Structure 1
Amino acid sequence: MKGILTMKIDELDVKIVELFSADSDIGVLAASRQLAVARPTVQGRLDKLKKTGVIEQIAPTLNPAKFGYPVMAFVSVEISQNVGHVSVGAALEVIPEIVEMYTVSGDQDVLIRIVAKSNDDLQRVLDSISRTGAVTRTRSAIVLQTHFQNRVLPLFSQVGSDDQ
C-alpha cells in the first residue's frame, strides 16, 4: 500500500538517504566507498527504499524563482459542491503555475501552491482558476520569504534511530 511504511528503516538506510539528499549525483559506487559498505549493499538498499515507496523518486529539485517565477502563494479554494474534488483536480491540473494541490478538511475544500512571474501574473493565474467553473471562491496568501520547505529528512533520520 502506498503511503504506509512497509520496511524497517535502520541507520544505514538513513545514511544512504542523507548522502544522496546532499549530493544526488554521487553515484552508488562513490556512496559505497564513502559509507564503507559494499556497492551491492547500497544498490540493494536504494532498490528496496524505492520499491516500498519510501523514496518516491530521485529527481532534481527545481526552484521556480530561479527561472522566472519569483512569486509564490498558497491559495485556499472553495469548490462547487456538485463538482467534486476529482473534477476540480482535472480542471486545475492544466494550469502549469499550480505546482501542488491537496484536498483538505475544514472551511476550504482544496489548498494549492502556485507560482507566478509577478503580482500581475498572480492575478492572471487566480483568474484562470476562477474561470474553471468548479471554483466558487479563492483566498490567497503571498509568500514573503521561504525559511525551509520539503523538510522530511530530519523526520526520516529520526525513524532510523528510534530503535537505539
Structure 2
Amino acid sequence: MIDELDSRLLVTMRANPRVGLTELARLLGVARGTVQARVEKLVARGVITDFGPTIDPEVVGYPILGFVSLQIAQGRLAEAVESLRGVPEILEVYGTSGQADLLCRVVARGTAHLQEIIALILASPAVQRTDTTIVLSNQISYRIEPLLKAAPQSP
C-alpha cells in the first residue's frame, strides 16, 4: 500500500519526469531528504520499476502494433517463452487464462513484416496456434495516475 504522500510523489514524478529531488520537494512542500527517502523506499519495494525514457515504437519505424495470442503445446511453456525472447519485435509476453496461454504485444514495420513475425513465432514446435489482433487506434494510453489517486491510503 502507499500513503497520501507516496501517491502525490508518484503523480508528480509522472507529470514531471525530468524533475530533480529538490524541485520535487518544493512542489510537494516537504523536505528534500523526505523525497529522497521516499523514492528510495518506493524503488526498494518495486513500486518504481525504472527511470528510463518511454520510447514510441511508431516513431522509430514500427507503426504496426498488434496483440498475438498463443496456444502452447502441453508442458512446453518454458520452451515457447524462450523462443519468443529471440524475436526483438515482441515487446511483452503475458501468461493468460482462457483460450490462449500467452499474449504477446508485438510491433512491426508493416503487415508483411507482421506476417514474418507470426511465422517466426509459429516456427517453434511449442506453439500450436496463434490469433492476431492489429491495433487500429489507441483510445486510452497507459495511465497510472487515476489508480494512484484512488489507491487505498495507509495511515
TM-score (norm 1): 0.88
Rounded to whole Å, the distance in 1 between the matches of 2:7 and 2:46 is 15
Q: Does structure 1 residue 137 correspond to structure 2 residue 137?
A: no
Q: What SS does the corresponding residue of 1:148 show, helix, strand or coil?
A: coil
Q: What SS does the corresponding residue of 1:136 show, helix, strand or coil?
A: strand
After TM superposition, which residue ranges in structure 1, 4 or more long, deviate above 4 angstroms? none
Q: What displacement does 1:163 show?
A: 6.3
Equivalent position to 2:140, from 134, 148, 151: 148
Equivalent position to 2:54, from 41, 44, 61: 61
Structure 2 matches for 1:100-139, cutoff 5 A?
A: 100-139=92-131
Task: Give 5+ residue unaligned stretches, structure 2.
Answer: none
Q: Give identity over the alignment, percent.
A: 37
Higher relative contact order (CA 8 A, sep 6+): 2
Q: Does structure 1 residue 15 correspond to structure 2 residue 8?
A: yes
Partner of 1:91: 83
Q: What SS does the corresponding residue of 2:54 show, helix, strand or coil?
A: coil
Q: Does structure 1 residue 79 correspond to structure 2 residue 72?
A: yes
Amino acid at match of 1:158: A
Question: Does structure 1 retain, via aligned residues, the 8 Å contact 2:67–2:105?
Answer: yes
Rounded to whole Å, the distance in 2 between the matches of 1:96 and 1:146 is 22
Q: What SS does the corresponding residue of 1:141 show, helix, strand or coil?
A: strand
Rounded to whole Å, the distance in 2 between the matches of 1:72 and 1:91 is 20
Task: Give 5+ residue unaligned stretches, structure 1.
Answer: 1-7
Q: What displacement does 1:151 show?
A: 2.2
Amino acid at match of 1:156: L
Q: Does structure 1 residue 35 correspond to structure 2 residue 28?
A: yes
Report the count of equivalent residues: 155
Rounded to whole Å, the distance in 1 between the matches of 2:129 and 2:106 is 16
Rounded to whole Å, the distance in 1 between the matches of 2:79 and 2:49 is 25
Question: Does structure 1 retain, via aligned residues, the 8 Å contact 2:2–2:154?
Answer: no
- Cα RMSD, aligned residues only: 1.6
Rounded to whole Å, the distance in 2 between the matches of 1:65 and 1:95 is 17
TM-score (norm 2): 0.93
